[in-house]
Structure 1
Amino acid sequence: MVRASAPGTTSTTRRQYTRRVSALFALGFAGIASFGVTLVATGLLPPTPDLSPVMVFILSLLMPTVFLAIAVFVGVFAASRVGLRSLVAERVAGGDPITPELRQSGPRALAAGIAVGFVLAAFDVTFSPLGAVPASATGTPTVVDILGSAPVRFLYGGLTEELLLRWGLMSFLAWVGWRAAGGIRRPGSDVMWPAIVLTSVVFGIVHLPALAGLASLSFATMIRTVLLNSIGGIVYGWFFWRWHLEAAMLAHAGTHVAFLSLSVLGFLLL
């Protein structure tokens, strides 16, 4: 005999689901908002003769907003089923405070991200003689340009991209792999590593359109972009798997700390 769920239990579950989705969407939308401000402040809105600048602006933000909503919904469904976590999602659903866990994972995630940033910068130096490092179409950035990119780097890169790629895509791929393996025991490395690597490759590929809008792309440039971003993505994915989404966000932010520091230092020395 199948017993119906208690109405109160169903209502509580629905409220918790809504809170998780709302909190994570709001977190990711902060990055989309910073992207919009950057588009306006830098004048990088693509000129479209048939559309007004306002409409171009709205359309530029619409796509990432839709993708963010999909990723958040998918992640809330899939992540917990495969043992992946978000401290924010757990907290708004009545879980433990976030700070104690961040004290454990945060410093090492941030440090790992900074190390990744320096490693990727070293790889860029290696790739430069091969003609794989794109030349900017906007000229040499000033310190103001470099520091002005910080909000979109940390908010869109550190928050929104992690929600899109790790929370949404990686959780979904891990869930698919888990189901394909029988969906009984918690997935291990045989399921999680393919999900991490595939997500990281996609993470590298999705950087190509934005790069194409700023510089000319060659085959070597595309390989370099996908490879370097994939390396970072693997580190962020590992932190998501072993710790939680917020650790992946901090690792991603740490990479941009290294990039910004090196950019400012390079400007001051040249």
Structure 2
Amino acid sequence: MTHARGWPVAERWLAAATAAGLLSLLLVNVEALLPGAGRELRPLATVQPAALAALALLAGNRLAPTLGLGLPLLHALASGGPAREILLRQLRVAVPVGIVTAGLLLAWNARMVPELAAGEAGAAFAAVRIPLVTRLLYGGIVEEVLLRWGVLTGLLWLLWRAAGRPERPTPRQAWAAIAGAALLFGLGHLPLLALLVPDPAAWKAAAVVLANAAPGLAFGWLFWRLGLEAAILAHALAHLLAWIGGRLV
């Protein structure tokens, strides 16, 4: 049986995984950003991400099936379908994407992070420790729910609706939504850059936007072609390999 009261079982599992990712934020010492603050700041830091994730789940669950987007692996697991075949198909593409993205993360950490952490605000930000479990659950799952399941799906639905609701969105519409979601994620890091580096050079702003947007193009393509789980697998693998690589170099 694939449905319970409310959302289908697969969507309920996605919501549960998202909740786990949000709870993992409680392990991050965000109080290091504010001298004198205590651990009570941690629950407050989860409020905004939780609200946005709830909106993304609602939007994705409502709109994705209409657009041919979905959760093929979770639905197969819930219904007794060919989950193994779907997982292998997703992994064949997600693993290379995750490896390349991990390399980009390591290069970014080596080249840009020292510059961004040079000032007083940067030093405070550098003192924040993000455990591996948070990188995997929040970075790998929650960010994909926010950016792909929510934003990308919403953008594609708007483009599809504006085109007269054809049977399926066109590749051009899909790529516009993929690029739009990735670009919004990149632009969303500019306020943090401004906090860390007063009056940053144009090349630093461009680097921040591009470095955060580029992986989103690959993750968005994986979501479009193979399902949200493929994007989650690639994103989580990138964080895992980057974490391992950071301890070996």
TM score, norm. by length of structure 2: 0.82
Q: Is 1:44 equivalent to 2:32 in the alignment?
A: yes
Q: Is 1:263 equivalent to 2:246 in the alignment?
A: yes
Give the distance between the partners of 1:255 and 1:93, measured in 2 at CA: 27
Shift, 1:251, TM fit: 1.2
Match of 2:210 in 1: 227
Give the distance between the partners of 2:28 and 2:107, measured in 1 at CA: 28
**Cα displacement string for residues 16-65 of structure 1 (whole angstroms, at most 9, x for unaligned residues):** 625444322211111111111123xx74364588xx853x3332111111
Structure 2 SS opposite 1:15:
coil
Paired residues for 1:54-69 under 5 Å: 54=40, 56-69=41-54
Match of 2:174 in 1: 192
Q: Is 1:182 equivalent to 2:172 in the alignment?
A: no
Give the distance between the partners of 1:261 and 1:140, measured in 2 at CA: 21
Give the distance between the partners of 1:88 and 1:107, measured in 2 at CA: 14
Shift, 1:79, TM fit: 0.8
Match of 1:8 in 2: none
Give the distance between the partners of 2:115 and 2:18, measured in 1 at CA: 29
Structure 2 SS opposite 1:17:
coil
Aligned AA (1:204) = G
Give the distance between the partners of 1:69 and 1:157, measured in 2 at CA: 16
Structure possessing the higher radius of gyration over alpha carbons: 1
Structure 2 SS opposite 1:85:
coil
Paired residues for 1:120-199 under 5 Å: 121-122=106-107, 133-135=115-117, 137-138=122-123, 149-199=131-181
Match of 2:96 in 1: 111
Match of 2:75 in 1: 90
Give the distance between the partners of 1:58 and 1:124, measured in 2 at CA: 28
The verdict on how the C-alpha distance between 1:210 and 1:19 changes in structure 2, with shifts beyond 3 A counting, is: farther
Match of 1:216 among 172, 197, 204: 197
**Cα displacement string for residues 150-172 of structure 1 (whole angstroms, at most 9, x for unaligned residues):** 11111111000000100111011
Give the distance between the partners of 1:173 and 1:95, measured in 2 at CA: 32
Give the distance between the partners of 1:247 and 1:171, measured in 2 at CA: 15
Q: How many residues end up aligned between the 2 structures?
A: 243
Q: Does structure 2 retain, via aligned residues, the 8 Å contact 1:162–1:248?
A: yes
Match of 1:22 in 2: 12
Give the distance between the partners of 1:242 and 1:86, measured in 2 at CA: 11
TM score, norm. by length of structure 1: 0.76
Which structure 2 residue ranges, 5 or more long, are not aligned?
A: none
Give the distance between the partners of 1:15 and 1:178, measured in 2 at CA: 29
The verdict on how the C-alpha distance between 1:48 and 1:186 changes in structure 2, with shifts beyond 3 A counting, is: farther
Match of 1:79 among 37, 45, 64: 64
Aligned AA (2:165) = G
Give the distance between the partners of 1:139 and 1:58, measured in 2 at CA: 19
Structure 1 SS opposite 2:22:
helix
Aligned AA (2:158) = V
Shift, 1:176, TM fit: 0.9
